[in-house]
Amino acid sequence: MRREAKTRSLFSLTWPIFIETLLYMVMGNADTLMLSQYSDHAVAAVGVANQIIALTSFRK
């Protein structure tokens, strides 16, 4: 019984992190897809910016 309580509490702490990570990835992919119609240089710039944002935002 006690072990189930720990598992549930760990899951309840981690699912928001997974959702946040997923949303960051989807946002970066959407930006890349929209800019792919415009310019290759714009896609490269947004790709680099997304990597920098991902590195800095997940180190809270």
Describe the chain by its helix, strand, coil percentages, rounded to 5. Answer: 85, 0, 15
Question: 3-state DSSP call for residue 13?
Answer: helix
The predicted structure's pLDDT at residue 13: 81
Neighbours of 25 (CB within 10 A): 12
Q: What is this structure's pTM?
A: 0.60
The predicted structure's pLDDT at residue 32: 85
Q: What is the pLDDT along the chain (60 residues), one digit of tens a residue?
A: 566 656 667 778 888 888 988 888 888 888 888 888 888 998 999 889 888 887 887 655
Give, rounded to a whole angstrom, the gap between the first and last alpha carbons of the chain. Answer: 33
49-57, long-range: CB within 8 Å, 24+ apart, which pairs? Answer: 53/24, 53/28, 54/24, 54/28, 57/24
The predicted structure's pLDDT at residue 58: 63
